[in-house]
Every structure is written in C-alpha cells, then in structure tokens.
Amino acid sequence: MNQNELAHYGVLGMKWGVRRTPAQLARARGERASSSSTTKKSSAKKESSKPKKKSVSEMSDDELNKAVRRLQLEQQYQNLNPQKVSAGRRFVDKVLKDVVIPAATTTARNTLQTMMKRELDRVLKFDTGNNYDRDKKKDSK
C-alpha cells in the first residue's frame, strides 16, 4: 500500500448510517460492561425524578384552576394560529366536500328509495308494472 493512500473497510456487519452504542464500543475496546450498567441506572433515576401527574381528585383547587386555564389558553392559541395546510390537502378537502360527499349522498338516497319502494310494493302486494323480480326469475331459468 502506498503512503498517500487511506483504506478503510468498516466494521463487519455494520449497516450504513447506524451508529454503535456506547456498550458496543466498550465491548470492542475490551472494557467491562459495568460502564454501560451505570448509564442505565442513571437514566432510570432521571425517569423516576419526574413528578407524577396527579389525578383530579388529588389536585387542589389552585392546581386545578391552573391546569384548566392552561388548557384554555392552548386552545385559544391554536384557534388564533391555525396550522398551515398544504395545497394538496386543500385540494383533497375541496374535492371531498364538493364532489364525493354529494355524490355519495345522492347515490345512497336513490338506492334507499328504490329498496324501500320495492319492499313496500312486495309487502302491500302492489303491481306497479315493475316486473324486475319476475324478469330476474325468467333470466335465471
């Protein structure tokens, strides 16, 4: 190999863009795993040091008022600062509102009217000249 060349073949089994954890690095250096267990203990302490969320029955009136006020302020802020909607989302919402919903409503209404009329005619035994059922039976023979 030439003095001006640099060759690096990586670590066997490593995937591109995946970093090794501190425990894996320690294992590669030949250190004991005790250093990784101390990091686990310290992270467990951090999680337990977070204050638990109180239930409503455990909260005082002042705490409850603060929580309610905070939620109200967040809702007001969201109403005053709506999130930006992409052009594609606006297009889909407009097509859904102007085309799909009216078409589905009309189709459902027409289908329901046809089915109700057919069933009412069958129950009341009216002959309206609609021989759909009779024609259907003839075609199947």
On whether residue 119 sits in a domain, the answer given is yes
Amino acid type, 126? F
Question: Tell me, what's the pLDDT at 105?
Answer: 96
> How far apart (Å, rounded) are the C-alpha atoms in residues 45 and 52?
14
On whether residue 33 sits in a domain, the answer given is no
> How far apart (Å, rounded) are the C-alpha atoms in residues 87 and 99?
18
Question: Tell me, what's the pLDDT at 54?
Answer: 83
Question: Tell me, what's the pLDDT at 49?
Answer: 66
On whether residue 141 sits in a domain, the answer given is no
Question: Tell me, what's the pLDDT at 125?
Answer: 81
> How far apart (Å, rounded) are the C-alpha atoms in residues 19 and 88?
36
64, 56 contact by CB (below 8 A): yes
On whether residue 25 sits in a domain, the answer given is no
Is the whole model's pTM more than 0.75, yes or no? Answer: no
Instruction: Determine the Cα angle at 68 with ends 63 and 72, to 5°.
Output: 150
Question: Tell me, what's the pLDDT at 73?
Answer: 95
Query: pLDDT under 70 in the chain at which residues?
Result: 1, 32-50, 127-141
Give the range of the structural domain holding residue 104, as residue numbers without chain letter. 87-129
Instruction: Look at the chain and report how many structural domains it folds into.
Output: 1
On whether residue 26 sits in a domain, the answer given is no
Q: Characterize 42-71 residue by residue with b for buried, 16 or more Cβ atoms within 10 angstroms of its Cβ, and e for exposed.
A: eeeeeeeeeeeeeeeeeeeeeeeeeeeeee
